[in-house]
Chains A and B, each alone.
Chain A
Amino acid sequence: MSKIVIQNLNKLYNPNKPNAFYALKNINLSIEDGQIVILKGVSGSGKSTLLSLIGGLSKPSSGEILVNNQNIAKLPDIMSSAFRHQKIGFIFQSFNLLEGLSVYQNILAPLALTKLGKEAMHEKVNQAMQLANIEHKKDQNVGSLSGGERQRCAIARAVVMEPEIILADEPTANLDKENSFIFIEILKKFKLLHKTVIIATHDTLFDDLACIDRCVQMRDGELLE
């Protein structure tokens, strides 16, 4: 049974208007549990849109997205958010941290929706920080972190709820070579933890990496096989 099954997925922006266009056309894709998949393609090829849809950040115009055999495309907001909260971890290109808070407080955000006690939450945050190697900066305001550190804080936040699926949109676009390699090390940890990872990127660094299971090319909203 595949972890993620996408069937006949379409996303049309600005329907019924003169500037309507298909960001995704008839996407069919299957991703197995524990696989690390790269979505390759230039800007505008639709990879970010596809990630958005898988993560439930937006809704498709038609088609199905089955995760663990449940169609998440038509879930009402409460359930879609609960799914996102428990099963998905996002890593964004621009990191998307909450400015004005510390690293610890940023990582705590997803836990605010849980009923865990203080010690349990503390434990989870610590584990996440260890995985991302950002423990030493835990009380620092995110505004004063370097690019690589911000990325690692974002990673820690993405994994604190121990999600099954990690979605990364251009994770290395704003990082230097050294930090990009650090990201790849963390990717290997994800592999060991048997997480399903989808990375949308046009960074050639990911070519020929041993931990990558599949590479899917995209162009103009379609998959190239």
Chain B
Amino acid sequence: MSIFLSNEIIVFLLIELILIVLMAISQVNIVSILRHWDFDATTPLQYALEKKNYLVNTILYFTVTCKVILFLFFIQSLNSLAGIVPGAMCSAGVVGANHYGNALLLLKLLLIFGFGLWLIVNKLDLASITFPYLKRKYLLFTLLFIGVLGEFILEILYFSNIPLTVPVFCCTVVFQAPRLPFGYTQTLLVLFFYILFGAILLLNYLKQTMASFTCNLLFLFIAYYAITYFFGLYIYEMPNHKCPYCMLQKEYYYIGYLIWGSLFLGIFFGIMPFLIEQITQKSYVYLLKYASLCLIITALVCSVYVVRYYLMTGVFL
């Protein structure tokens, strides 16, 4: 009996494989584009290379869309796998089944960010006549391709190491002792969350891309811990239910999608301007206001649950 017989895993791996094949085709084309590209040439070869550019483009748009869908599908599948992995009561148990789980999730997220960056650079590249960012764009693509291959290997390792006979830990065990570097108190965590949040809003307003970039990356981890260990408690209305995944389920009205979605989107918009400036030397700060908007939504939704709980019961958890 193997986990690879699960319907969801089969479909998931099939689509991943198809995407890898498509990206491999792109990569082969990119190698020839990078070797022979000379925009000023008027040879048929150069025109053919320009056309190959569009193939790579299309494949990447398609891949990004699929990757986002697959990411969501992955999270949902983990939840249904919880039915056959002994001891797991929700995705948390399945993710924590071996040490590849969390690394895989983080890699997936970073890859999606990477693809997003590529799409923006590509848009800028196509908007100008001479394809100025072509080489850098394709180097980025190659990095992403390597990342995707790594992701696939990690997925195989992760899935083949999910124990089907030995019970795994569920979220109560997985999330009981956080390994935060600056010691654990809930108050400190929440304080840090709001301070960093405020700092990011300010930096976005002042269009300080580098500082915003650093703070956003920090915020990714702080917010993860804050939502899992503090805000989540108010969503589940239980002092010990510390789980980032359960809020994605029907019982909690799928609020997790809004919270995590706006968080990731906000961080994405926050880190992009700096990276784009590095690659294209062009200012792209208009994304910062979307970053602020998304993070405001995250903070608002989380805070609303806390306030609501307090108003209902008169105490904090």
A and B in contact, CB less than 8 Å: yes
Chain A interfacial positions (CB closer than 8 Å to B):
15, 59-62, 73-79
Residues on the A chain within 8 Å of B42, using CB: 59-62, 73-74
Name A62's closest neighbour in chain B (CB-CB): B42
Given A59-B42, A62-B42, do A76 and B131 touch, yes or no (CB 8 Å)?
yes
**Considering the chains assembled together, what is the distance between the CA atoms of A76 and B129 in angstroms?**
6
Residues on the B chain within 8 Å of A61, using CB: 42
Which residue of the partner chain, among A15, A77, A78, contacts B44 with CB atoms under 8 Å? A15
Chain B interfacial positions (CB closer than 8 Å to A):
39-40, 42-44, 47, 50-51, 54, 126, 129, 131
- In order of increasing CB-CB distance, the 6 nearest A-B pairs are A61-B42, A59-B47, A62-B42, A78-B126, A76-B129, A76-B50
Residues on the A chain within 8 Å of B129, using CB: 74-76, 79
CB atoms of A77 and B50 under 8 A apart: yes
Name B47's closest neighbour in chain A (CB-CB): A59
Residues on the B chain within 8 Å of A78, using CB: 126
| Nearest CB on B from A97, distance (A) | 27
Name A13's closest neighbour in chain B (CB-CB): B44
**Considering the chains assembled together, what is the distance between the CA atoms of A90 and B30 in angstroms?**
35
**Considering the chains assembled together, what is the distance between the CA atoms of A79 and B51 in angstroms?**
14
Given A76-B50, A77-B50, A77-B54, do A15 and B43 touch, yes or no (CB 8 Å)?
yes
| Nearest CB on A from B32, distance (A) | 18
**Considering the chains assembled together, what is the distance between the CA atoms of A124 and B82 in angstroms?**
60
**Considering the chains assembled together, what is the distance between the CA atoms of A79 and B128 in angstroms?**
9
Residues on the A chain within 8 Å of B43, using CB: 15
| Nearest CB on B from A76, distance (A) | 6
Which residue of the partner chain, among A15, A60, A73, A76, contacts B126 with CB atoms under 8 Å? A76
Residues on the B chain within 8 Å of A15, using CB: 43-44
Residues on the B chain within 8 Å of A76, using CB: 50, 126, 129, 131
**Considering the chains assembled together, what is the distance between the CA atoms of A15 and B48 in angstroms?**
14
| Nearest CB on B from A153, distance (A) | 31
| Nearest CB on B from A64, distance (A) | 11
**Considering the chains assembled together, what is the distance between the CA atoms of A75 and B42 in angstroms?**
11
Known interface pairs A74-B39, A78-B126; 17 further A-B residue pairs with C-beta atoms within 8 A, sorted by A's residue number: A15-B43, A15-B44, A59-B42, A59-B47, A61-B42, A74-B40, A74-B42, A74-B129, A75-B129, A76-B50, A76-B126, A76-B129, A76-B131, A77-B50, A77-B51, A77-B54, A79-B129
Residues on the B chain within 8 Å of A73, using CB: 42
**Considering the chains assembled together, what is the distance between the CA atoms of A15 and B40 in angstroms?**
17
**Considering the chains assembled together, what is the distance between the CA atoms of A60 and B41 in angstroms?**
11
| Nearest CB on A from B45, distance (A) | 10
**Considering the chains assembled together, what is the distance between the CA atoms of A74 and B43 in angstroms?**
11
Residues on the B chain within 8 Å of A59, using CB: 42, 47
Residues on the A chain within 8 Å of B54, using CB: 77
10 chain-A/chain-B pairs, Cβ below 8 angstroms: A59-B42, A59-B47, A62-B42, A74-B39, A74-B40, A75-B129, A76-B50, A76-B126, A76-B131, A79-B129
Name A59's closest neighbour in chain B (CB-CB): B47
| Nearest CB on A from B133, distance (A) | 13
**Considering the chains assembled together, what is the distance between the CA atoms of A59 and B40 in angstroms?**
13
**Considering the chains assembled together, what is the distance between the CA atoms of A73 and B46 in angstroms?**
13
**Considering the chains assembled together, what is the distance between the CA atoms of A85 and B271 in angstroms?**
37
Name A60's closest neighbour in chain B (CB-CB): B42
**Considering the chains assembled together, what is the distance between the CA atoms of A60 and B39 in angstroms?**
14
| Nearest CB on A from B121, distance (A) | 16
Residues on the A chain within 8 Å of B39, using CB: 74
**Considering the chains assembled together, what is the distance between the CA atoms of A68 and B262 in angstroms?**
46
**Considering the chains assembled together, what is the distance between the CA atoms of A15 and B44 in angstroms?**
9
| Nearest CB on A from B254, distance (A) | 34
Instruction: Count chain B CB atoms within 10 A of each CB in A15, A59, A61, A75 and give the residue with the most.
Output: A59
| Nearest CB on B from A63, distance (A) | 9
Residues on the B chain within 8 Å of A77, using CB: 50-51, 54
| Nearest CB on B from A3, distance (A) | 21
Residues on the A chain within 8 Å of B50, using CB: 76-77
| Nearest CB on B from A120, distance (A) | 26
Residues on the A chain within 8 Å of B47, using CB: 59
| Nearest CB on B from A74, distance (A) | 7
Name A78's closest neighbour in chain B (CB-CB): B126
| Nearest CB on B from A209, distance (A) | 37
